[in-house]
A = this chain, B = another copy of it.
Amino acid sequence: MSRGEETRRHIVRCAAEVFNRVGYAAATVSDLEEATGLRTGGIYRHFGGKEELALAAFDHAVGCLEARFVEEATASPHAVDRLRAMVDVYRGLATEPAVPGGCPVMNAAIETDAAGSAALRDRARRAMDRWRQRIRALVEEGQARGEVRGDVEAAAFANLFLSTMEGATMLTGLYGDRKPLMDAADHIDAHLESRVRA
């Protein structure tokens, strides 16, 4: 990897944390300088502007999260187990966040409501859609394999799953208390066992 490319990745990694903690609009280039150890000249060599860097940082942050899902996905081939593994990923984020500062997708979704970067909002939508699709596919594949009850509506379950876990992430972040996230995770687990597993 070239030195320039390495610097670029360094910037993205540092920026992802800054943007996720502080907010995409609230984070200043000065914050990014401090986090990266570089000056504007060095940052702007690699990115056309704050927004471009913010998008790259968002993608990186989402990528870090998705890597967790991919890791856990190897555990078991059973659909319900895979869904419970996803719940475990959320549980784990409480103690060891993929990127500090909460869920980047939720952060971007909230921040770009009726203002802020349209491009970032679009990325947030696409990311969330990937997650919904992942869950939906798991449910539908599970149904095809007889592992999931036929009366489960895949799309609705995906919405419920993400609503619950994202909302719980917000509450846990607001209070600095793992309990809301644990409560939500336990509920989804129980729901998976009692109403989803075939």
**A interface residues (Cβ-Cβ under 8 A, vs B):** 21-23, 25-26, 100-102, 106-107, 109-111, 113-116, 121, 124-125, 128, 155-157, 159-160, 162-171, 173-175, 179-181, 183-184, 186-187, 191
Contacts and interface: CB of A to CB of B under 8 A. Distances in A.
B170 A106 contact: yes
A31 B101 CA distance: 28
Given A163-B168, A167-B164, A23 B183 contact: no
A183 B163 contact: yes
A181 B167 CA distance: 12
B174 A160 contact: no
Say what secondary structure dominates the interface of chain A: helix
B166 A171 contact: yes
Contact of A26 (B100, B116, B128, B174): B116
A102 B111 contact: no
